[in-house]
Amino acid sequence: MTTTTGTSMAPDPVQVAVEQELTDTVVASFKNTPDERLKTLMESLTRHLHSFIREVRLTEEEWDAAINFLTACGHITDDKRQEFILLSDIFGASMQTVAVNNPTHGNATEATVFGPFFTEDAPEIPNGGDIAGGATGQPCWVEGTITTTEGKPVPGARIEVWEADDEGFYDAQYSDGRIAGRAHLFADENGQYSFWGLTPTPYPIPHDGPVGKLLAAVNRSPVRASHLHFMVTAPGQRTLVTHIFVDGDPQIAIGDSVFGVKDSLIKKFIEQKPGTPTPNSRDLAGQPWARTRFDIVLAPEAGNIPKSHD
C-alpha cells in the first residue's frame, strides 16, 4: 500500500472559503432528514470527513487508493469473515464504541470488543462441562461467580464463551462446519459457574486481506494477546461482552492488535502439574492443565440504575 504526498502548503483564504462552502452545502443537504438521530449522525460525519480531507490535503490518488481498499474489504467479507469489523478493530473504533456504550459503573466488570467470530449456534453445556468440542490445546478449568454491583448473586445468568484453538483458529475459520471452542451455560442458583476450556494462546487476526496489508504498511503486528471471550446476559442487567487475558503473556506488553486489553481483565492462569487432581475428577490422562477464576459483576440496565448512581 503506497500513497503520494499531498501538498503541505496552506490554502489561501479564497480556497478556504470554497472548501468551507462545500462542507456547509453538504451538511445542509440533510436538513430534511425525518429521523433526528440519523440527521445528527450524517451532519457530524460530513463535518469530520471533510475536516480530515482538508487537514491532510488528500490527493486524488490517495482517495482512489482508499476506495480500492474499501472495495477489497467488501470483496473478502462473507458470512464467516467480516473484514470491516477487523478494520474497525485495528483503528480502535470498536473499543471506542464499547467505551461509549459501556460507561463505568461502580465495580462492574469492564467490557471489551465483541470480535468477528461469535456465532448464535453454540451448544449448551452443564456447569463443569467442556467447551472444547475437539479443539486442540491445554485443558483449562474456569470458574467464578456472577453478581450485581450490590454483591447479589445472579442465578440463571446466561454465559456464552468462545475461543481459538492452539493453532490460533476459531471453528468458524475452518471449512468443515465444526463447532468447537464455544458453548453456553447458565449460572447456578448461587450465581456460580464453571467449565473446562483451553488455556488461551496468542494468535493473529486474519491478515491475508486488505486489513493485513494495511497493518504491514504501518509496521504493526496483527497478533492479539491471549484471551477467552465471554458474553453474559441476565434480566435487568446490562449485557456484558468481555474477554479475560493471560497474566504474563508477552503480547500484552507488545500490544494487542485491537486494543482490547484492560488491566482488570488480566487473570492468572495457574499451571497444574500432570496428575494434579481436577476439580470435578476429570481424567486428563496425565496431561498438564491450568485453572483460572473470573468473578463477573454485571452493571444494571440503564432503566434499573438507582438514582444514587445517576
Nearest 5°: phi and psi at 142?
A: -120, 130
Instruction: Summarize pLDDT for 37-67 with one digit per residue, the tens.
Output: 999 999 999 999 999 999 999 999 999 999 9
Residue 51 lies inside a defined structural domain of this protein? yes
* Cα–Cα distance measured from residue 168 to residue 165, given in angstroms and rounded to the nearest whole number: 5
Share of the chain above pLDDT 70, in %: 95
137, 209: one domain: yes
226, 163: one domain: yes
pLDDT computed for residue 10 by the predictor:
72
Residue 170 lies inside a defined structural domain of this protein? yes
Residue 243 lies inside a defined structural domain of this protein? yes
Assign 3 a pLDDT band (cuts: 50, 70, 90).
low
Instruction: Summarize pLDDT for 222-256 with one digit per residue, the tens.
Output: 999 999 999 999 999 999 999 999 999 999 999 99
175, 93: one domain: yes
Residue 69 lies inside a defined structural domain of this protein? no
Assign 194 a pLDDT band (cuts: 50, 70, 90).
very high
20, 166: one domain: no
Per-residue DSSP letter, 257? T
Q: What is the CATH number of the domain that holds 250?
A: 2.60.130.10
Of residues 142 and 177, the one with the higher pLDDT is 142
Residue 80 lies inside a defined structural domain of this protein? no
94, 27: one domain: no
Q: Which three cell numbers stand for residue 18?
A: 470554497
- Nearest to residue 137, comparing CAs of 297, 305, 300, 288? 288
pLDDT computed for residue 307 by the predictor:
44
Residue 63 lies inside a defined structural domain of this protein? no
51, 93: one domain: no
Residue 2: pLDDT over 90: no
Assign 7 a pLDDT band (cuts: 50, 70, 90).
low
What domain range includes position 162? 88-309
35, 97: one domain: no
Question: Residues 126-148: what's their mean pLDDT?
Answer: 97
202, 262: one domain: yes
Number of domain units in the chain:
2
pLDDT computed for residue 302 by the predictor:
79
Residue in the structure block whose three cell numbers are 500484552: 252
Residue in the structure block whose three cell numbers are 440503564: 302
Assign 93 a pLDDT band (cuts: 50, 70, 90).
very high
145, 203: one domain: yes
98, 242: one domain: yes
Residue 206 lies inside a defined structural domain of this protein? yes
What is the reported pTM? 0.87
Instruction: Summarize pLDDT for 296-306 with one digit per residue, the tens.
Output: 999 999 755 54
pLDDT computed for residue 9 by the predictor:
66
The pLDDT mean for the chain works out to 93
